[in-house]
Structure 1
Amino acid sequence: MMRYAAVFGWFTAAYFLSYFFRSANAIIAPDLSRELSLNAADLGLMTSVFFGAFALAQIPLGLGLDRWGPRWITSGLLFVGAVGSVIFAFAPSFELLMIGRALLGLGMAGALMGAMKIFSKWFHVNQFATLSGLTVGIGSSGALVAASPLAWFNEAFGWRWVFVGGAVITVFIGAAIIIWTRNTPPGVPWTGSTDTGGGVQEVVRDRRFWHIVPLDFFYRRHNVCFSKPVGGAIPVRCDATGCRSGGQYADCAEPRRNLRRTDLWLACRPGGHDAGNDCKRYIVY
């Protein structure tokens, strides 16, 4: 039982870090602007680099997870993220900030998909959506830590030491994944895939994939009408609430017949929009 808890706990912690790092720039932006003379365009570009690296990594990430497993891929990427955090922490220029931020995006790219992959190996299919929903819900609270708590640490120690501390924690979680988790449960051998892209083509040709893409593309469109503090806090709290209940419902749903019913039900739940996007992926795939 402890091994199952370790798998869930350490991969959820990795996703928590991913959410923290992606949200941290909003709090430290005034300090970056003052210390390195950055304007709004610089800050926006630097923030977008994280998401650009994160997105570009996803297809090779999937191939790597299938071949070598989440234990090695997720932990290895976390170490890359730790290097990025250190570079960001000590960067004397905008260019090095960009490099650090890009490495952070790359390093956090494997957190969620690594968790999904290892859950599919360790847990029963009827538990998959519930555990995935819990991971997204708990991990999303990393954005809350990147709000007031980060502001307190930033005021007390400065933004550079915040990212040094983040690098240390990232290395610790990456090492914990290597030491205390395995790609498969005891007695089950790991059989890595040698697919070089055929699986990607199969997914792209599946019409169900194109039903989900628009939901993710417009995932945060409902934030635009709120102030920054409210726009950040509401969806995170919704994630934490809706993903848990949405995952439980998705595990109970009969995939083909209940996909639309799940969507309607989630729309009436707290956090339903956020949970719906995630849980429909689990039902379909």
Structure 2
Amino acid sequence: MILSKFRVFLLWLPLCLFFAYQFILRVSPNVMMHEILSYFHVNATNFGILTSLYYLGYSLVQIPIGILLDRYGPKQISALCVLLCIGGAVLFSLSSYWPFALLARFLIGVGSSGAFISSTKVVRSWAPEKYFSLFVSMTITVGLLSAHQAGNLISYLMELVGWQKAVLYLGLGGILIFVFILLSVKNNPKYEKTEMGSLDSAFISKLLKNLVDQKILWIGLWGAFLTGPLYVLGDVWGISYMMKVFEWNKHQATEASTIIYFGMACGGPLIAALSNKFHHHRKNMIAILAFGMAFILSIEMLLKPSYEIVVGLNFLLGALCSYQILVFSLVVLNTPIHFSGVTFGVVNTINMLSGFVYLPLVGRVLDYCWDGVSENGVPLYSAYAYQVAISVIVVGLFVGGVGFLLTGVKKT
């Protein structure tokens, strides 16, 4: 049964809001780093581990969530995922014990993993095929714009009620989305509760052979090296880095950090168009984008330009982060259609796991470069320490760019 565009919109809307909601929870540590360090008496390495658990939880259940969606439908699974996000946020806001805070962040990551794929599942189940790309692009755009505005929203709540109540209110706000999903989302019986194929040894063997022979694992690995600007600056360390290195106030640093997501929202369609026009050179384009991101970060650290210029550069940095479109295009070109779903899951898992590596690594470098200065027991990291830590991203971008240039994959 195929529904009209308006009825599909009503089914899709709560899941789109869920995707936006999880982005707000995802970037929230970026705004409250100092408060978290002070409250839990931890250092940058511990903070990096805390934030990285979102990515670990997300990546570990990405493929299982997809299987459950195919088996039980988006209504039940997305509602459960929202509850995990709510529970994680509430637990984090009430935690005074560090392991509980770690668990809370992990739960938020697990719940967030179901947001985007639930929205695509609903559209795929109910909408005419010609509307699929439209709804997917709208979902991504709304999510990225939410991440862009999340910093201002969270900062405002923190000024009103403090960081813990701000997280609590964000968590409880998810109840509205949970109710909206129960009232609006509907499974299509035609596509639910189908017999799932068995993952026998022959299938797994062929899948692994494809992942190795067609360079899929290399595509995923080199792509993971390029996630630093988004995960490190956009999600976690960007505000504190810019406050220290550029000596800006929190409002300026928040805008300069979150503009990365706005740039990504604007740059995605352009990168997609270039991908279609220069389809013979996708891996070379990825390398160029990687080197471009490294150049932007280097210019910012070495020259320390004005606020307006950095905002413009970070907007461009966000646009270049749309390289992910090209990465998944390469995956499509090098994957038989009967392996496409699980292969996408594998590559996206590698992509998200990079956050589990990058964020603690940046924190560890900060602690290594710490000069011993603290305030009320909270370590204060120098501009030099932040610059060395962010240099890790620059190195990763060069490694990933060169990796794509050297990896032999199909061009068309």
Q: TM-score range, shorter-chain basis? A: 0.7 to 0.9
Superposed displacement of residue 67, structure 1 = 1.0
Q: Equivalent residue for 1:213?
A: 220
| Contact in 2 for aligned 1:212/1:277 (Cα 8 Å) | no
- TM-score (structure 2 length as normaliser): 0.58
Identify the match of residue 242 of structure 1 among 251, 260, 267: 267
| Contact in 2 for aligned 1:85/1:166 (Cα 8 Å) | yes
Identify the match of residue 49 of structure 2 among 40, 45, 50: 45
Q: Equivalent residue for 2:194?
A: 192
Inter-partner Cα distance in structure 2 for 1:130 and 1:83: 32
| Structure 2, unpaired ranges of 5+ | 243-252, 290-315, 333-339, 341-412
Inter-partner Cα distance in structure 1 for 2:57 and 2:67: 16
- The correspondence of residues 1-40 of structure 1 with structure 2, limited to 5 A, is 1-40=5-44
Amino acid in the other structure paired with 2:267: G
Identify the match of residue 324 of structure 2 among 269, 273, 277: 277
Q: Equivalent residue for 2:167?
A: 163
Bigger CA radius of gyration: 2
CA displacement 1:24-76 (0-9 Å, x = unmatched): 01111111122222221221111111111111111211211111122211211
Q: Equivalent residue for 2:116?
A: 112
Inter-partner Cα distance in structure 2 for 1:94 and 1:117: 36
Inter-partner Cα distance in structure 2 for 1:57 and 1:11: 18
Inter-partner Cα distance in structure 2 for 1:116 and 1:282: 18
Structural RMSD (CA): 3.5
Q: Matched residue of 1:92: which SS?
A: coil
Superposed displacement of residue 278, structure 1 = 3.6
Comparing 25-34 with 210-219, greater Cα deviation is found at: 210-219
Inter-partner Cα distance in structure 2 for 1:78 and 1:117: 16
Q: Would the alpha carbon gap of residues 98 and 278 (structure 1) be closer, same or farther in structure 2, given more than 3 Å must change?
A: same
Q: Would the alpha carbon gap of residues 196 and 234 (structure 1) be closer, same or farther in structure 2, given more than 3 Å must change?
A: farther
Q: Would the alpha carbon gap of residues 31 and 69 (structure 1) be closer, same or farther in structure 2, given more than 3 Å must change?
A: same
CA displacement 1:91-123 (0-9 Å, x = unmatched): 012111111111111111111122222222223
Q: Would the alpha carbon gap of residues 182 and 221 (structure 1) be closer, same or farther in structure 2, given more than 3 Å must change?
A: same
Q: Would the alpha carbon gap of residues 115 and 282 (structure 1) be closer, same or farther in structure 2, given more than 3 Å must change?
A: farther
Inter-partner Cα distance in structure 2 for 1:160 and 1:22: 15
Superposed displacement of residue 201, structure 1 = 6.7
Identify the match of residue 97 of structure 2 among 75, 90, 93: 93
Inter-partner Cα distance in structure 2 for 1:216 and 1:171: 35
Superposed displacement of residue 11, structure 1 = 1.4
Matched residues, percent identical? 18
Count residues with an aligned counterpart: 278
Inter-partner Cα distance in structure 2 for 1:125 and 1:210: 30
Amino acid in the other structure paired with 2:263: C
Comparing 14-23 with 117-126, greater Cα deviation is found at: 117-126
| Contact in 1 for aligned 2:223/2:324 (Cα 8 Å) | yes
Alignment of 1:232 with 2:257, yes or no, is: yes
Inter-partner Cα distance in structure 1 for 2:128 and 2:14: 19
Inter-partner Cα distance in structure 2 for 1:129 and 1:262: 21
Q: Matched residue of 1:88: which SS?
A: helix
Amino acid in the other structure paired with 2:46: D
| Contact in 2 for aligned 1:46/1:101 (Cα 8 Å) | yes
